[in-house]
Amino acid sequence: MRWLGSLRLNHGGGAATFLKAYVVGGVFVLLAGFIVYSQWILHRLEVRNETWVAPFVRLKTYVPAIRDHQASELLREALRDVTDKGLLRFVIVDDAGVPVLARGVDPMVDLKLDDPEGDALTVAEQQRLSEAIASMREQHAAEALEYTTLSRRIVGRIYFGDVDAEHLADMPLVLSDVQDRPVAWRIYGGWETALSHPEGVGRAIALVRDADRHKRVEDLQIDPPAKQGAFYYEVDTVPALQWMPFIQMLLVGGFITGGVMLYRRIRADEQAAIWAGLAKESAHQLGTPITSLMGWVDLSRQTRPPDEDPQDGLDIHAEMEKDLRRLERIVARFSQVGLKPELRAVSVNEIAADAAAYFRARLPTRSQATTITEDYADLPMALANADLIQWVFENLIRNAIDAIDTQETGPGNVAMVTRYDVGTNCVTIAVRDNGGGIAPAVRRRLFTPGVTTKPHGWGVGLTLVKRIVEVYHAGRVRLAHTDPEGSTFEVRLPAADGPRNGRA
């Protein structure tokens, strides 16, 4: 099945891509719906909360006029709790537009406006207050308000005696100042004062003490004057609700990301187990025929007439034996898949040269006009498994030759270049070709199992290369460059302690 030009997926990639797009798209649609619904709820809450703003502010200004001092303080504390939590901010201005009361703007600004005789607002505080009023004015128009800023003033107390309902007109009364000193009283007969009848002060004090003991006392208060003004306000509906959609998105995103990473890890482990099983089974199946072929080659050599000359200067039996030995090495490589390989200090230049020599001897059977060039720098030894790294080089060289053969644009060249990166202490090996490059649709998925650009490829070679380099050797392999003029693959392997080695 072909997809996006030269990209071919052998394992249902189209269905998998559709499923991923469907799941991701569905999640985003659900998140978008959740955000819209949350914003709708917030809007409803704001509209509902705004209905009690005006009564709340009026109640706030009415508190000083409440006659019961204890009730006034309890209500004042409850109203302060609402503004302190940031749910409501408001500013009351007089008929000239001068702020006289504020809540929720700034603690110091609120405190200074409550005490007109105290310290004046600083320039910075005036600026904050102006900015707050401007912000409130943008959201809501000013609303007219009748307010009082002074608390009810207690000027004295009235103490009264205990009488029957039939004698209320003759109830004993004592008027005192705020220090509970009798000023006037009516105990027996008419009213007396401390100035006109000082001898009666004692009787008045006794009545005061008796009435206070029995809670027969009331404060004498003066109502504060009412003024005309207006107020601006700003409602903040439970601040945590505003962040809830975004927090929810982060939580859902983290959950999905964790699930995807876990899924990829499990899938990678399953694929590794499948590849290891296939490799070991292949090694097992190839082992017996190769051993048998080795025996037949020995038998053929023994039965060959002594005077038979090699054809075209080649010893056929020797060449066959060489290829069979190579097959044995390949089988040994397959048997190492899935196991932790033994890493030793090896010469990357020698391994690369062996791989290049093997393919150079077979180039005439594949392409008459392809050459392999080698440019090896002075390198330290690398910590690697020689058989597996040679397998990596052979895969990269074979892919380079295939890319050249499919172009048929003239002489081809595969270049093997090695360098040493002092900064990372890594040996780098680059395999370059002058084929037609790799299509953009394939580049991102190039190392994915089943992805190939070859008409009859399996999409296995680069997957094994990536696993050998990155999993077994803690190195890195990447497509370093590609364009219509060719491609370059780069392999980086950690260097081992040891002498440098070069090969021309």
Q: What is the largest CA-CA distance in the chain?
A: 164
Locate CATH 3.30.565.10 in the chain. Answer: 341-501
User: How much is the pTM?
Assistant: 0.45
Give one DSSP letter per residue of 178-238, joined into a string: TT--EEEEESSSS-EETTT-GGGHHHHHHHHHHHHHTT-EEEEEEPPPPEEEEEEEEE---
- Please tell me the predicted confidence (pLDDT) of residue 265: 76
Instruction: Please tell me the predicted confidence (pLDDT) of residue 414.
Output: 92
Tell me which residue of 312, 424, 430, 329 sits closest to 374, measured CA to CA.
Answer: 430
Among 208, 169, 164, CA closest to 185: 208
**Residue 287: predicted pLDDT:** 55
Superfamily of domain 341-501: Histidine kinase-like ATPase, C-terminal domain (3.30.565.10)
pLDDT for res 6: 40
Successive 10-residue mean pLDDT values, the chain, 504 residues: 38 59 76 76 69 65 60 63 66 84 82 79 88 85 74 78 78 88 86 87 89 86 74 69 70 75 74 64 58 64 63 61 68 63 89 89 64 92 89 89 74 91 92 87 78 66 86 90 90 76 46
Locus of tokens 């490059």 = 437
